Amino acid sequence: MMPHITSADGTPMSRFCFGTMQFGGPADETASRAMFDACRAAGITFFDTAFVYTGGASETLLGEFAASERDSLIIATKAAYEGGSSAHNILTGFEISRGRLGMDYIDILYLHRWDADVPLEETFGALAGLKSAGKIGHIGVSNFSAWQGMKAQAVAGKLGVRIDIMQPMYNLVKRQAEVELLPMALSEGIAVAPYSPLGGGLLTGKYNNGGAGRLAEDGRYAARYGPGWMHDAARNLADLAAETGIHPATLAVAWVARNPAITAPIISARTADQLKPSLDALALTFDDTLYAQITALTPTPAPATDRLEEA
């Protein structure tokens, strides 16, 4: 059974989450506010940030924007991307995050990534302490594999808490999560809020004509989405978008959202205009045929057993 995640006043989690990674960086305060307002107008109640985003500006701006309706929103942040997952690093960073956000209580706190050097008992002991103190509502993990998630869940259970939500990468050209992580989440009742449904902007089609963006500016994204077949898929998605009259970004986000294991894709942008096609996916329902057409644009990963005849 999936966890029941609502805001403090009982407002349900929206079907999409907005990721504020650009707030205070590529998106200045004015652009950030415009995107926040566009999300609220579209019914978004779930907002995601992290300790490391834009040197803290992301948390600060989100806190300012959310203050007037705090109890109606679900706010998530992430801890321990840098410095390891020791109790000291988690707790110290969390207090800084609370100060930036201007919030006594955070709805979801994610462990930002796996740390093989710190015992899970120490890490989840710190998270359990925050939950028992009423400082967080739900524990999440980001960038964990399925086996890491289940190992952590076992430790969490011994401490009287559980992982309620996971945040993996998932999009049309990054489908590894389909092999074990998404089936695990469905089986174990863990919500899934995947990031990068647009593949770092690749699936918007803008790079087909030499457009600018993270793939051109950030070496990590260039490597992550460098294989030629991914760019072929983006061009084919753009062709399908032209045939259907639907923006490729809308198709890409809606494709992620349609997977039964997905709770709320995390959408993001640098401007409100850039954000609009992703928000439009909230209203898009497409039939099995179109979903299958989009799915066929990229290889379906082999099952975990690698028994292809059973796929």
Distance of CA 130 to the CA centre of its chain: 22
Q: Which residue's entry shows tokens 């029941």?
A: 4
135: tokens are 């400082």
Burial string for 17-56 (b: 16+ CB within 10 Å, else e) reads bbbbbbbbebbeeebbbebbebbbebebbbbbbbbbbbeb
Specify the 3-state DSSP secondary structure of 55. helix
Q: Which residue's entry shows tokens 């009742």?
A: 189
Q: pTM for this one? A: 0.95
Q: Which residues of the chain have pLDDT under 50?
A: none
127: tokens are 């998270």
Specify the 3-state DSSP secondary structure of 69. helix
pLDDT score at 212: 66
pLDDT score at 211: 66
pLDDT score at 34: 98
pLDDT score at 153: 98
List the chain domain ranges: 17-167
131: tokens are 């939950």
Interatomic CA distance for residues 244 and 83, integer angstroms: 47
pLDDT score at 309: 78
Cβ neighbours, 10 Å, residue 278: 26
Catalytic residue check, 53: yes
Instruction: Evaluate whether 271 touches 23 at the Cβ level (below 8 Å).
Output: no
Instruction: Evaluate whether 43 touches 13 at the Cβ level (below 8 Å).
Output: no
Tens digits of residue pLDDT in 133-180: 999 999 999 999 999 999 999 999 999 999 999 999 999 999 999 999
Q: Tell me the CA distances in angstroms from 36 to 30, 32, 127, 251, one per residue in order.
A: 10, 6, 28, 22
Q: Catalytic residue, from 53, 207, 221, 225: name it.
A: 53
CATH classification of 17-167, choosing from 3.20.20.100, 3.90.230.10, 2.30.42.10, 2.102.10.10?
Answer: 3.20.20.100
Q: In what order do the strands lie in the sheet with 163-167?
A: 191-192, 163-167, 136-142, 106-111, 74-79, 46-48, 17-19, 266-267
Tens digits of residue pLDDT in 101-138: 999 999 999 999 999 999 999 999 999 999 999 999 99
